Amino acid sequence: MRRIVFAVVFLSLAVPTLTSAQGVLVISQNKCQLDKQSAIRAFADSATIPIAQELVNEGKLWAAGTAYHAWGDEWNVVNWYNAETMSGFLEAFSELISRINARYPTAIADWQSWCFEHKDSMYSHGRMTTAPPGM
């Protein structure tokens, strides 16, 4: 829990340099125990993503999702978030953690037992593709 609080405080200091009119992408890469992959995916599918969807529905996030190791290195679980601004992301992420803690009191301890290292990357969006014509 202290790591999450520290990360939120640290990120709040970075807000002025990480905002963009085109939005932000935040990626959290995690090294997790391989034998816990199904538990991690089940928790994300039943708890984290539905709560993130609430935040999307409320306009606090643009999108959020997960990705799981298929081929590559040891960073085998990814959580990602799109938001309008970095400060907006930080508020939404704080709310996400608050709601998870309220509904699933052991979730943070479970996550810390499943995943032993993480790194976060924050990006401002560059130019992106758009929907095909006529859509």
Predicted confidence at residue 70, as pLDDT, reads: 79
Say whether pLDDT at 6 is over 80: no
Model confidence pTM above 0.75: yes
Domain membership of residue 131 (yes or no) is no
Burial class of 71 by CB neighbour count within 10 A (0 to 12, 13 to 18, 19+): exposed
Q: 91: domain CATH number?
A: 3.30.70.100
Domain membership of residue 129 (yes or no) is no
Say whether pLDDT at 24 is over 80: yes
- 3-state SS, 54-98, equals HHHHCCCCCEEEEEECCCCCCCCEEEEEEECCHHHHHHHHHHHHH
pLDDT tens-digit map of 93-113: 999 999 999 999 999 999 999
Domain membership of residue 130 (yes or no) is no
Total structural domains within the chain: 1
**What range defines the domain where residue 95 resides?**
2-124
